[in-house]
């Protein structure tokens, strides 16, 4: 049934809808005056009396009306009690700092009192000092001060030890404007926490001049629509946080070649061009109710042709264009009035007076406060200026203060300030912004991402980067990479000849350019010799150029086929680029400016994500970061109780490492700290990180059948008591084998001496057992014969005559023998070739002293029974040591990051980094509980229902699988929650009888925290 709509009612609904949205969606209530029709007498146009009875709309309207009435009443009351001197003072915001002397701070206090200042703009310093000073300044001010900051990329732009977000030109490469709005909100929240009410951002200038010395990277880009959309997103975020956004520099500072801090820039464009480009962002921001607009020290003849008249002091531009034609009713701010681009034309205070006359509401950073204040005050006293006009502007300023909450006594809480300003949400967002900005400008097919890590030889050259720089460290985290450092800008070929000579040995070389600048006149900080080096390298191998700097500098690399723009020389940009190169993340950015015909606006390729493990922040994968930080306390407490001297803990979810820390030292009382690169003896994690992985690979190839007997693969078992032992039963630990047998006792006399028939003094051709102790290779056959001769366990069988579960090292020694027989090569070689090297596991190996220094490895036990020495760099397990460090049950060394790659491959059902290592059916089958005699999977340990274990959380899902190690290691993989938990420690230092790790339930408690971090969100 059709119903007719009453036109009057429709108009009323639309009116109040606009009224409501103008209030809720505007930076300031007064900034929406165009919609609300706020007149010069400060009255609000209200609906007619005939509409007041509309009960449907009454609630919304009255809420807004009450706010406006209160806002106006507060401003009216303050203004009514103000003297002329106080009103003039409200026009001024002067600069102040939080890194100066108490004498300077006292001077500011005196100026606040003497000149009745309206506000302050803070610059360099520290957040705690600024908070203290803000409280002191507010306390002495009769009318609350409006506090501003020029924080275009966050507090880090001005204050030490606070967050810096990406520059606007970096943000211009991001497709998703919601991320920029989130950044605006986060910056606004931090400003508000610090007692700041105004952010002089965003920059709404369109940078169409690559030689612009003052805007450049501060602009979102060269497109008026891109700049407008991103500026509105930024301003909207600030607005939602309760902070006023001030767009700058009206009418547009983008196409200038002069720095207005030094002299007057000239914008020689027609009115039509200005309207179609430069004014577009400001027009859209005004329609979106931006709180403030800053006028620029620019000479724009098309808008005001009075010679050298800057926009800041042009009545035609400010009153005529900005306020009347464009309808801006917010606060109009001058740019800093101490800049020579404006002060050169006036005597002291003259620029301030001219700026006021032109229509500015707030005079920012005067060059001479006393002269400016008295000059303006004098003009009112002698009748040259009307006080009614001053009242209107001051009333607008007061309404802004009400919107900012200054109708209540302002106070900044200093306690907890730095924690609040450096929060996890900021880190998460910052990383996400950089990841979305990285732009692949050009790329030859099949150059990157780097997939075949076992066959690819990759080199890197970091130009103008410090030694051990973060970018090369990030690159090395993904696989074997040879890094060449070049801390200087090369001046001639002698600086890089040696690199070019070796370039032919690499399949690809990544040349990262650091320490760039935004000055075209300085070649963007890139030396000509750097380009020569890239040319020379390109003749020998494939080269990928990564520019960590201004995108305008990309024109220098036009001749090269593989170019990535990282935008900024920052650690988060390094990580994002490394992820793109190795396929751990994809590039989705597009150039926001044109640098050359080969680097045009909007250029950008989408790169492939091949599924490698990378770092991220907990919130991005649905985890509570604050909860995860509780791990710190658990580990540090355990170290303080001598449960272990040091450890690594890693947590990953959904393919992202969200917690990765190193704790403590190598030894108690030692100064050598554990790092995330430190190698640990994995002990029994070898069973699942080495032997089991090989078994799974051979099983799915049809080479190893778990239902066959071990003697089917090892004929020497036939005719022994182990002739009928099934391979599957060995992996379930239900084959009847004993847990352990001290085979090393066969190699020593009753008096404890090493038998000469086994041991040698020389390393040559022998196996290392410990430092300076070697054994003949024939020992392997001896151990094998001793194992064959062992009796079965005396543990009772079940009613079917089958052996029950009994965890056994002997079974995994036997499995190594089977693996090597089937594979036709030593197990360590098989794993290196087929698993570790392809996965990029550069720190996982048996006998680590063959590739690493002792100082890279955590020590284990001071063995006083078998080897009679401190074990450091050789395997702790005695039987594994006797076998030369390579055994099926122990002997593998690694760190948490390397292991995470392996277990992420398992979690991803056998696929990792663009390659498949195992079929999903294989991974799932081995991790499933299939036996009625053992709680375990095939090789894997699993949770035991109704049994409280010391190494696994009670909240872990039943599908969780993993293992523990005698030295204090553990790994748990939870496919239901997509979680990986790894902890490596050396609890056996200096004695293996230290059980505090188990007594304190350290591993279990950490695992509980990890699961709670998921469940909390």
Domains of the chain: 7-80 (no CATH), 85-420 (3.20.20.300), 438-610 (3.40.50.1700), 630-1015 (3.40.710.10)
Phi/psi at 243 (5° precision):
-120, 140
Per-residue pLDDT at 948 exceeds 90: no
Per-residue pLDDT at 200 exceeds 80: yes
- How far apart CA 503 and CA 499 sit, in angstroms, is 6
Per-residue pLDDT at 328 exceeds 50: yes
Q: How many CB atoms lie within 10 A of CB 758?
A: 18
Under the banding of pLDDT at 50, 70 and 90, the label for residue 62 is: low
Q: If you search the block for the tokens 């909240």, which residue do you land on?
A: 955
User: Which has the higher per-residue pLDDT, 958 or 30?
Assistant: 958
Per-residue pLDDT at 40 exceeds 80: no
Q: DSSP letters of 264-323? A: --B----HHHHHHTTTHHHHHHHHTT-SEEEEPS-B-TTT--STT-BGGG-HIIIIIIII
- What is the structure's pLDDT at 432? 93
- What is the structure's pLDDT at 261? 64
Express each pLDDT in 730-746 by its tens digit. Answer: 999 999 999 999 999 99
Phi/psi at 80 (5° precision):
-65, -30
Q: If you search the block for the tokens 């080897």, which residue do you land on?
A: 867
Express each pLDDT in 280-322 by its tens digit. Answer: 999 999 999 999 999 999 999 999 999 989 999 999 999 999 9
Share of the chain above pLDDT 70, in %: 93
- How far apart CA 485 and CA 498 sit, in angstroms, is 12
Per-residue pLDDT at 143 exceeds 70: yes
Alpha helices in 747-862 (DSSP H): 779-788, 809-823, 827-831, 837-839
Element (H, E) at 387: helix 387-403
Per-residue pLDDT at 899 exceeds 80: yes
How many angstroms separate the Cα of 144 from the Cα of each of 86, 147, 361, 372? Answer: 12, 9, 17, 21
- How far apart CA 969 and CA 875 sit, in angstroms, is 14
Which of 794-808, 851-865, 962-976 has the weakest average pLDDT?
Answer: 794-808
Q: How many CB atoms lie within 10 A of CB 327?
A: 13
Per-residue pLDDT at 776 exceeds 90: yes
User: Which has the higher per-residue pLDDT, 1007 or 47?
Assistant: 1007
- What is the structure's pLDDT at 212? 84
Q: DSSP letters of 19-69? A: HHHHHHHSSSGGGGHHHHT--TT-PPP---GGGTT-HHHHHHHHHHHHHHH
Q: Cβ-count burial of 51 within 10 angstroms (0-12 exposed, 13-18 middle, 19+ buried)?
A: middle
Per-residue pLDDT at 38 exceeds 50: no
- What is the structure's pLDDT at 831? 98
Under the banding of pLDDT at 50, 70 and 90, the label for residue 260 is: low
Which residues, 6 or more positions from 508, have their beta carbon under 8 angstroms from its beta carbon?
Answer: 447, 448, 450, 456, 457, 458, 459, 541, 542, 543, 544
Under the banding of pLDDT at 50, 70 and 90, the label for residue 372 is: very high
Per-residue pLDDT at 19 exceeds 90: no
User: Which has the higher per-residue pLDDT, 235 or 10?
Assistant: 235
Q: Is 335 a catalytic residue?
A: yes
Angle between helices 424-437 and 177-193 (to 10 degrees): 150
Per-residue pLDDT at 34 exceeds 70: no
Query: Region 898-925: what's the mean pLDDT?
Result: 97
Which two structure tokens, joined as six digits, stand for 1014? 């998921």
- How far apart CA 132 and CA 684 sit, in angstroms, is 56
Q: DSSP letters of 930-972? A: --SS-SS-SS-B---TT---SSS-TTS-TT-EEEEETTTEEEE
Which residues, 6 or more positions from 868, have their beta carbon under 8 angstroms from its beta carbon?
Answer: none
Which residues, 6 or more positions from 557, have their beta carbon under 8 angstroms from its beta carbon?
Answer: 531, 534, 545, 547, 563
Which residues, 6 or more positions from 117, have their beta carbon under 8 angstroms from its beta carbon?
Answer: 89, 90, 92, 93, 94, 111, 141, 145
Query: Region 24-47: what's the mean pLDDT?
Result: 34
Which two structure tokens, joined as six digits, stand for 75? 């401003």
Q: Which of 335, 681, 898, 974 is catalytic?
A: 335
Query: Region 652-658: what's the mean pLDDT?
Result: 96
Express each pLDDT in 497-550 by its tens digit. Answer: 999 999 999 999 999 999 999 998 899 999 999 999 999 999 999 999 999 999
Q: Which of 76, 229, 261, 856 is catalytic?
A: 261
Task: Return the DSSP state at 832.
Answer: I
Share of the chain above pLDDT 90, in %: 84
User: What does the mean pLDDT of the chain come to?
Assistant: 91
Express each pLDDT in 565-598 by its tens digit. Answer: 999 999 999 999 999 999 999 999 999 999 999 9
Task: Return the DSSP state at 7.
Answer: H
Listed residue (610, 603, 620, 622) closest to 583, CA to CA: 610
- What is the structure's pLDDT at 332? 98
- What is the structure's pLDDT at 8? 41
- How far apart CA 154 and CA 166 sit, in angstroms, is 9
Task: Return the DSSP state at 530.
Answer: H
Q: DSSP letters of 707-746? A: TSBGGGT-GGGTTSTTTT-BHHHHHHT-S---S---GGGG
Under the banding of pLDDT at 50, 70 and 90, the label for residue 42 is: very low
- What is the structure's pLDDT at 933? 87
The helix/strand/coil state of 980 is: strand
The helix/strand/coil state of 509 is: strand
Under the banding of pLDDT at 50, 70 and 90, the label for residue 39 is: very low
How many angstroms separate the Cα of 357 from the Cα of each of 100, 317, 361? Answer: 34, 12, 10
Listed residue (833, 982, 810) closest to 894, CA to CA: 982
- What is the structure's pLDDT at 802? 85
Express each pLDDT in 927-947 by its tens digit. Answer: 999 888 888 999 999 998 766
Strand pairing class (481-486; 119-122): unpaired
- What is the structure's pLDDT at 793? 85
- What is the structure's pLDDT at 61? 56
- How far apart CA 548 and CA 517 sit, in angstroms, is 10
Helix, strand, coil shares of the chain, percent, nearest 5, are: 40, 15, 45
Which residues, 6 or more positions from 927, have their beta carbon under 8 angstroms from its beta carbon?
Answer: 906, 937, 938, 940, 942, 959, 961, 973, 975
Contact 903, 982 (CB under 8 A): yes
Per-residue pLDDT at 35 exceeds 60: no
Listed residue (342, 412, 349) closest to 378, CA to CA: 349
Query: Region 233-256: what's the mean pLDDT?
Result: 95
Query: Region 669-682: what's the mean pLDDT?
Result: 95
Per-residue pLDDT at 988 exceeds 90: yes
Ramachandran class of 885: left when φ > 0, alpha when ψ lies in -120 to 50, beta otherwise: left
Which two structure tokens, joined as six digits, stand for 862? 């001071």
Q: Is 889 a catalytic residue?
A: no
* Dihedral in degrees, nearest 10, Cα atoms 283, 289, 295, 299: 10
Q: Cβ-count burial of 11 within 10 angstroms (0-12 exposed, 13-18 middle, 19+ buried)?
A: exposed
Under the banding of pLDDT at 50, 70 and 90, the label for residue 4 is: very low
- What is the structure's pLDDT at 7? 43
């Amino acid at each position: 049934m059709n119903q007719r709509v009453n036109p009057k009612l429709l108009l009323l609904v639309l009116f109040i809808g606009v009224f409501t949205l103008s209030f809720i969606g505007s930076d300031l209530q007064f900034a929406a005056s165009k919609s609300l029709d706020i007149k010069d007498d400060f009255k609000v146009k209200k609906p007619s009396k005939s509409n007041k009875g509309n009960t449907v709309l009454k609630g919304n309207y009255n809420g807004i009306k009450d706010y406006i009435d209160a806002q106006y009443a507060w401003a009216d009351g303050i203004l009514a009690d103000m003297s002329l001197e106080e009103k003039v003072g409200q026009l001024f915001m002067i600069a102040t700092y939080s890194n100066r002397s108490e004498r300077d701070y006292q001077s500011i206090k005196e100026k606040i009192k003497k000149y009745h200042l309206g506000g302050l703009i803070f610059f360099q310093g520290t957040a705690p000092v600024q908070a203290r000073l803000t409280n002191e300044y507010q306390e002495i001010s009769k009318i609350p001060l409006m506090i501003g900051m020029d924080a275009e990329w966050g507090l880090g732009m001005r204050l030490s030890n606070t967050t810096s977000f990406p520059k606007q030109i970096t943000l211009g490469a991001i497709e998703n404007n919601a991320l920029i709005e989130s950044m605006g909100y986060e910056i606004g929240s931090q400003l508000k926490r610090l007692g700041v009410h105004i952010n002089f951002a965003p920059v709404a200038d369109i940078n169409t001049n690559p030689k612009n010395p003052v805007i450049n990277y501060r602009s979102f880009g060269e497109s008026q629509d891109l700049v407008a959309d991103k500026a509105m997103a930024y301003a909207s975020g600030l607005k939602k946080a309760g902070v006023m956004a001030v767009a700058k520099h009206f009418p547009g500072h983008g196409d200038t070649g002069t720095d207005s801090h030094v002299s007057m820039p000239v914008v020689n464009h027609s009115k039509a061009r200005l309207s179609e480009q430069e004014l577009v962002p400001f027009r859209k921001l005004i329609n979106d109710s931006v709180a403030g607009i800053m006028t620029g020290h620019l000479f724009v003849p098309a808008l005001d042709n009075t010679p050298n008249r800057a926009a800041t002091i042009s009545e035609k531009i400010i009153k005529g264009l900005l306020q009347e034609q464009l309808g801006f009713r917010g606060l109009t701010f001058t740019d800093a009035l101490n800049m020579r681009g404006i002060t050169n034309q006036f005597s002291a205070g003259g620029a301030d007076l001219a700026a006021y006359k032109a229509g500015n509401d707030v005079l920012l950073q005067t060059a001479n406060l006393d002269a400016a204040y008295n000059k303006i005050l004098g003009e009112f006293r002698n009748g040259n200026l009307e006080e009614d006009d001053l009242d209107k502007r001051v009333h607008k300023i007061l309404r802004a203060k009400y919107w900012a909450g200054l109708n209540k006594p302002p106070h900044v809480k200093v306690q907890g300030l730095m924690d609040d300003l450096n929060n996890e949400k900021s880190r998460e967002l910052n990383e996400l912004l950089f990841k979305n900005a990285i732009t692949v400008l050009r790329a030859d097919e099949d150059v990157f991402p780097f997939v075949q890590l076992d066959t690819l030889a990759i080199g890197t050259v970091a130009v103008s980067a410090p030694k051990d720089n973060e970018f090369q460290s990030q690159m090395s985290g993904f696989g074997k990479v040879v890094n060449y450092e070049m801390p200087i800008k090369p001046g001639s070929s002698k600086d890089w000849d040696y690199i070019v000579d070796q370039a032919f040995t690499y399949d690809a070389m990544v040349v990262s350019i650091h320490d760039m600048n935004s000055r075209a006149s300085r070649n963007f900080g890139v030396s000509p010799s750097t380009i020569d080096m890239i040319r020379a390298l390109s003749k020998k191998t494939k080269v990928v150029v990564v520019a960590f700097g201004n995108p305008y500098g990309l024109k220098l690399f036009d001749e090269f086929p593989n170019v990535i723009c990282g935008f900024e020389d920052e650690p988060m940009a390094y990580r994002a680029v490394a992820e793109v190169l190795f396929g751990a993340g994809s590039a989705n950015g597009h150039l926001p400016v044109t640098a050359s015909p080969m680097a045009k606006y909007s250029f950008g390729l989408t790169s492939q994500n091949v599924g490698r493990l990378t770092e991220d922040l907990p919130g991005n994968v649905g985890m509570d970061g604050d909860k995860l930080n509780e791990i710190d306390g658990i580990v540090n407490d355990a170290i303080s109780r001598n449960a272990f001297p040091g450890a690594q803990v890693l947590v990953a979810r959904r393919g992202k490492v969200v917690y990765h820390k190193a704790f403590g030292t190598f030894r108690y009382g030692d100064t050598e700290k554990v790092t995330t690169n430190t190698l640990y003896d994995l002990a029994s994690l070898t069973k699942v990180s080495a032997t089991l992985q090989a078994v799974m690979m051979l099983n799915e190839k049809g080479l190893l059948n778990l239902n066959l007997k071990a003697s089917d693969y090892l004929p020497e078992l036939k005719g022994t008591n182990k002739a009928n032992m099934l391979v599957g039963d060995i992996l379930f630990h239900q084959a009847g084998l004993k847990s352990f047998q001290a085979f090393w006792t066969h190699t020593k006399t009753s008096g404890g001496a090493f038998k000469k028939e086994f041991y040698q003094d020389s390393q040559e051709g022998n196996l290392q057992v410990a430092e300076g102790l070697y054994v003949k290779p024939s020992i392997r056959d001896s151990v094998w014969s001793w194992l064959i001769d062992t009796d079965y366990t005396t543990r009772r069988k079940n009613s079917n005559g089958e052996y029950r579960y009994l965890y056994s090292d002997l079974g995994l020694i036997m499995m190594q023998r089977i693996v090597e027989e089937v594979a036709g090569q030593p197990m360590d070689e098989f794993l290196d070739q087929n698993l570790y090297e392809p996965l990029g596991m550069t720190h996982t190996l048996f006998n680590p002293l063959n590739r690493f220094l002792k100082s890279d490895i955590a020590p284990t036990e001071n063995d006083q029974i078998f080897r009679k020495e401190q074990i450091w760099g050789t395997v702790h397990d005695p039987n594994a040591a006797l076998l030369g460090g390579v055994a099926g049950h122990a002997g593998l060394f690694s760190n948490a990051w390397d292991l995470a790659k392996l277990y992420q491959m398992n979690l991803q059902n056998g696929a990792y980094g663009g390659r498949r290592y195992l079929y999903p059916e294989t991974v799932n089958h081995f991790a499933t509980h299939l036996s009625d005699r053992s709680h375990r999977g095939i090789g894997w340990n699993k949770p035991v229902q109704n049994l409280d274990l010391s190494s696994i959380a009670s909240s872990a899902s039943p599908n969780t699988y993993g293992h523990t190690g005698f030295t204090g290691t553990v790994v748990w993989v939870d496919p239901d929650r997509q979680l990986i938990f790894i902890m490596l420690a050396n609890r056996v230092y200096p004695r293996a009888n230290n059980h505090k790790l188990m007594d304190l339930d350290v591993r279990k408690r950490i695992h509980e925290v990890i699961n709670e971090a998921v469940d909390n969100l």
